[in-house]
């Protein structure tokens, strides 16, 4: 019924659509960056750089997951060059992925884990646990609490 009240510019998603973290914030995951936007159309938080193109890309976000309550989200990031960094984290090269878990309220990463590329993973409903499936083994990681105000 008519035009939406706000037009929000999001990152180009590699697969899927932007996700609501709560009633006021939307997570937009692009190929080399993510951003959190308010439903009013303002940029709240951004990590990464705009996509420089396939041949110049040092790393790429392959997958993203979020907790059901929106308090945490995780990204699987693959590096294609030595010494590639994402949000101050050195990334091992492909065929490995780095899972980076973020706390939405404190706006900081709280956990990183290196796994083989394309390994299935998920966050618990409240974002306190990360589960990673490796062949027939389920590895479960208790995630640390975030400390708001420091990184």
Closest alpha carbon to 18 in 54, 70, 57 = 70
Q: DSSP readout, 81-134? A: STT-EETTEE-PBTTEEEEEEEETTTTEEEEEEEEETT--EEE-TTSSEEEEEE
Q: Which of the four pLDDT bands, split at 50, 70 and 90, describes residue 65?
A: very high
pLDDT digits (tens, 9 = 90+) for 18-30: 889 999 999 989 8
Distance CA(79)–CA(1), nearest Å, equals 44
Q: Are 47 and 34 in contact (CB under 8 A)?
A: yes
Instruction: Record the pTM.
Output: 0.85
Distance CA(38)–CA(30), nearest Å, equals 17
- Superfamily classification of domain 19-142: YVTN repeat-like/Quinoprotein amine dehydrogenase (2.130.10.10)
Distance CA(31)–CA(75), nearest Å, equals 11
Paired tokens of 97: 């992925």
How large is the average pLDDT for residues 90-103? Answer: 95
């Amino acid at each position: 019924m008519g035009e939406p009240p706000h037009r929000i510019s999001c990152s180009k998603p590699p697969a899927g659509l932007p996700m609501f973290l709560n009633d006021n914030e939307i997570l937009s995951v692009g190929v080399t960056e993510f951003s959190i936007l308010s439903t009013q159309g303002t940029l709240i938080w951004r990590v990464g750089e705009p996509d420089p193109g396939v041949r110049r890309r040092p790393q790429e976000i392959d997958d993203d997951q979020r907790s059901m309550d929106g308090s945490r989200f995780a990204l699987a990031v693959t590096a294609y060059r030595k010494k590639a960094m994402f949000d101050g984290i050195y990334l091992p090269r492909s065929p490995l992925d780095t899972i980076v878990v973020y706390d939405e309220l404190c706006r900081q990463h709280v956990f990183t884990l290196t796994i083989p590329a394309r390994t299935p993973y998920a966050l618990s409903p409240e974002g306190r646990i990360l589960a990673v499936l490796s062949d027939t083994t389920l590895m479960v990681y208790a995630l640390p609490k975030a400390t708001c105000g420091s990184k």
